[in-house]
Amino acid sequence: MKASLKRLAGGSIMEAAAALAVVALAIVGLARTDSFILAAIAVIIFGAAILTEGGAGAAIFSARGQLGTEAESWTGGLSSDFLAGVGGIVLGILALLGVASGVLLSVAALLFGAAYLLSGLGGTQMAWFSYAFGGQLLVGLAAVVLGILAVVGQDSLTLVLVSLLILGAGALFTGAFTSMRAASAAREMHG
């Protein structure tokens, strides 16, 4: 169990580092310096961060061998994280190659927002994750709304970059919080 908590902490640290990169890329993109390229790179990085964090979260349940309600709700969030991560990476690469960049980046923002909503809904039963997942619900809702507006075509690049900024900030705080709590739980088990 202690090793799985360490994996969870490590995955959350990786998520926080990737989220920091996404925030930086979104801010620079909002300054109108190669915005489509920066947004596409941020989408790829965020997709990878979702995959990393989701895999680390799965470690805690695979080590415990749980199949109860808590594990089932978490694995539902993991499957949405997996699909959103892979989908985001593919959409980001296609946008980087110039294939309907505006539409693909808008869809990626919508996809990431939906994944955050599903992750937040699935994780609320876990007591020490409840604050982080409550924040994920709000971040997911904001990203979904911005993604829908971007798909409709109202200044889509700006909306995508703001969505990425919100998602990155949310992932930064969630990753840092989860890492801190998992490391603390691992220390309590040792001591």
pLDDT in 10s for each residue of the chain, 191 residues: 556 656 666 667 778 889 999 999 999 999 987 889 999 999 999 999 888 876 655 555 554 544 444 444 444 446 778 888 999 999 999 999 988 889 999 999 999 999 888 876 655 444 444 555 567 788 889 999 999 999 998 788 999 999 999 999 988 887 777 767 766 766 676 65
- Locate 148 and state its tokens: 């829908």
pLDDT for the residue 86: 93
Question: What span, in angstroms and rounded, lies between the C-alpha atoms of 51 and 118?
Answer: 15
Amino acid at 109: A
Q: What is the pLDDT of residues 35-59, one digit of tens each?
A: 899 999 999 999 998 888 766 555 5
Please calculate the CA angle 112-177-18 and round it to the nearest 5 degrees.
Answer: 45
Candidates 27, 63, 5; CA nearest to 172 is 27
Helices (H), 65-155: 69-96, 101-123, 130-152
Neighbours of 137 (CB within 10 A): 18
R_g (Cα) of the chain, nearest Å: 16
